Structure 1
Amino acid sequence: MADTATTASAAAASAANASSDAPPFQLGKPRFQQTSFYGRFRHFLDIIDPRTLFVTERRLREAVQLLEDYKHGTLRPGVTNEQLWSAQKIKQAILHPDTNEKIFMPFRMSGYIPFGTPIVVGLLLPNQTLASTVFWQWLNQSHNACVNYANRNATKPSPVSKFIQGYLGAVISAVSIAVGLNVLVQKANKFTPATRLLIQRFVPFPAVASANICNVVLMRYGELEEGIDVLDSDGNLVGSSKIAARHALLETALTRVVLPMPILVLPPIVMSMLEKTSLLQARPRLLLPVQSLVCLAAFGLALPLAISLFPQMSEIETSQLEPEIAQATSSRTVVYNKGL
């Protein structure tokens, strides 16, 4: 009965959208094709759109109700595909898909850039003291851990100790590497003060990249021990694969290394050139605002590019997996959820 109602609702929406440029709406499905990099890039641009941070409580309720009406076949006439896609975008940006509870604004994916940019600016401040280095690395990893926890897969109970373990590992590795590299640079007498300052600006990247890898491995180590679910082309569960889990963690770790690269490497290069301009030399007070804009631009470009590298539902040939997995299906390939 519910399937018939949904079909009728979909038919009504399709008729109302004959002249619309938006693709036919599919409840719970991405608007853009995920088989191409461009499609994934467009999809993640929607996910991180900061405009959803300003959605009112009333607009959220309307969006949720519109999707419920579509699901139960009670959609009012004249609703367009564009309105349905917009409603789904709002719901997915604000509510956790498993708990259906609102995600705290700074920890939403749409809040990652606006709330994370001040931290990036702090990481890249010149002439940092030991205390400021520790503070900004700690704040960065704390923000990352909160975002990871707020957007976690909550379908299965996961002990909080796993997240604490990942958090502590990330903080310790980030702080240790950043402080260690800063000490080495300070003791390198062959560098001129200008060269030393430039090198110090690149210190946050290896610290953050290594901490990100540490965070992924520690928080998802259980997947390597137990495996992750792999599905056939029809969405049927084939089994649990440790090899697929290794692929998933490798792809996620690579993404976490690529992500901070433009954010923490490009701004120092750009700022080292801008600081030589007569405008900034005559107005040193503009240095911080300009650096903030440069970091914001780099962050806004890097985030969707990095998370678009691999499909969230990745494909792997069954011949590469455990023999029992290959024997359990006739499909040449299976898919698994890589995670973000």
Structure 2
Amino acid sequence: MSGKAEMSTEATQTVLGFPKYPPFRLNQPRFPQETFLGRYLHYLDVIDPSTLFVSDKRLRECVQLLDDFKRGSAKASDKTLWRAQQIKQAILHPDTGEKVLPPFRMSGFVPFGWITVTGMLLPNPSWPTLLFWQWLNQSHNACVNYANRNATQPQPLSTYIGAYCAAVTAACSISAALTYLIKQSKSLPRSTQLIVQRFVPLPAVSMASAVNVLCMRWNELRTGIEVYEKGGKVVGVSKVAAKQAVSDTTKVRAFLPIPMLLAPPCIMPFLERYKWVIGSPYRHLFVNAIVCTLSFAFSLPLALALFPQESPILTSALEPEIQSKTKSDCLFYNKGL
């Protein structure tokens, strides 16, 4: 009786107007993806850091439960099934089924990436310091882009090594060029220079992050990615869909640093009015790290929610050979993260 009451309670719970635990749908998001709010709630599931602590045994149990559901033999509540799917999708790549290393999962982006974000926001960096933090940040970004790519078409590792070198080189070059221009602006008042220096990372990281995606996923544009019907049946490989997937992901990466890097330079001057904060460089760095981490955590789901991960595309916009293989008006593809 208590089990039925619990299931009834789950069915009536809501999150921002959406059912918290709707009837379970295998391989489908828990919240509607037609609206920004629904996508935002979905990506909160995706980046949930609690999935970083899931054991291999627990992961196998979740995969087994979902397999049982597919066969029609699962006996579990919607809440349990949604949690099992969340864990599986957070850890295993949707195309390859392989485990993604924790630092390169979306759920690990903030816990492992906050250090580089904090480092890039340190005021008045030297050239070696600036290049080091850019290299570390773009190396992490490149690994995240690789781990969360569309992997329906296998690519040689050498392709990604070359892409990594191009991405890091471009990122460091962009950052160095912008910093050089700012340092040459000696005609600006000192107060203005300090404000500008705090915002140096914004255009550098935004441009570099977009270039990073283009470099790491360039081969998808050459080979194409799989497009499939709603039921999952693969129709073909499309370069048009690949272009849209890479374009959308590039926009997400370009937007991601904006709230993440704008907030700390605006908040820190107010916190720096307190002697406790500025009395020690270690305390100042500690407070800066907290502000950066919170800004990063706030920014990530907002940026990801710009586009759904499983994105639709009109069949009429695809290649003629794909149009001839299906009667569906709309197909889907994995955009990647």
Q: TM-score, normalised by structure 2?
A: 0.85
Q: Does 1:104 align with 2:104?
A: no
Partner of 2:16: none
Give the AA of the match of 1:246. K
Relative distance call for 1:37 and 1:66 in structure 2 (3 A) is same
Match of 1:20 among 10, 32, 38: 10
Contact 1:16 1:80 in 2 (8 A): no
Question: Number of residue pairs matched?
Answer: 326
| Counterpart residue identity of residue 121, structure 1 | T
Select between 150-159 and 324-333 the one with higher mean Cα deviation.
Answer: 324-333
Partners of 1:198 and 1:272 within 8 A in 2? no
**Which residue number in structure 2 is paired with residue 219 of structure 1?**
216
Q: Deviations over 1:177-200 (max 9, x none)?
A: 212222222222112333222212
Cα distance change on mapping 1:95 and 1:210 into 2, 3 Å: same
* Residue identity opposite 2:187 in structure 1: K
Cα distance in structure 1, aligned partners of 2:211 and 2:295: 24
Any idea what SS the aligned residue of 1:335 has?
Answer: strand
Instruction: List per-residue Cα deviations over 1:305-334 (Å, max 9, x = no partner).
Output: 111101223233344444555555544443
Secondary structure, in 3 states, of the residue corresponding to 1:20? helix
Deviates more, 1:56-65 or 1:85-94: 56-65
**Contact kept? 1:209, 1:260, Cα under 8 Å:** yes
2:291 corresponds to 1:294? yes
Q: Which structure 2 segments of 5+ residues have no match? A: 12-20
Distance 1:311 1:293, change over 3 A: same
Tell me, yes or no, if the aligned pair for 1:25 and 1:85 is still in contact at 8 Å: yes
In structure 2, the residue matched to 1:115 is 112
In the alignment, the residues of structure 2 paired with residue 241 and residue 68 of structure 1 have an alpha-carbon distance, to the nearest angstrom, of 30
Which structure 2 residues correspond to residues 252-331 of structure 1 after superposition, within 5 A?
A: 252-277=249-274, 280-281=277-278, 285-326=282-323, 329-331=326-328
2:61 alignment partner in structure 1: 62
Does 304-313 or 93-102 show the bigger shift?
A: 93-102
Aligned to 1:158: 155
1:14 and 1:233 mapped to 2: Cα distance? 32
Alpha carbons of structure 1 residues 234 and 26: separation in structure 2 relative to 1, 3 Å? closer
The question of whether the paired residues in 1 share the 8 Å contact of 2:264 and 2:292 is answered with yes
8 Å CA contact 1:94, 1:102 repeated in 2: yes
Q: Identify which range, 175-184 or 315-324, moves more after superposition.
A: 315-324
Check the 8 A contact 1:231/1:239 in 2, yes or no: yes
Identity, in percent, stands at 51
Going from structure 1 to structure 2, the CA distance change for 1:149 and 1:224 (only over 3 Å counts) comes to closer
Which ranges of structure 1 fall in alignment gaps of 5 or more residues?
1-12
Query: Which residue does the alignment assign to 1:179?
Result: 176
Q: Distance in 2 between matches of 1:230 and 1:14?
A: 40
CA distance in 1, matches of 2:97, 2:327: 36
Query: Which residue identity lines up with residue 126 of structure 2 in the other structure?
Result: T
Distance in 1 (CA, whole Å) between partners of 2:225 and 2:70 is 30
What one-letter code is carried by the residue in structure 2 that aligns with 1:69? D
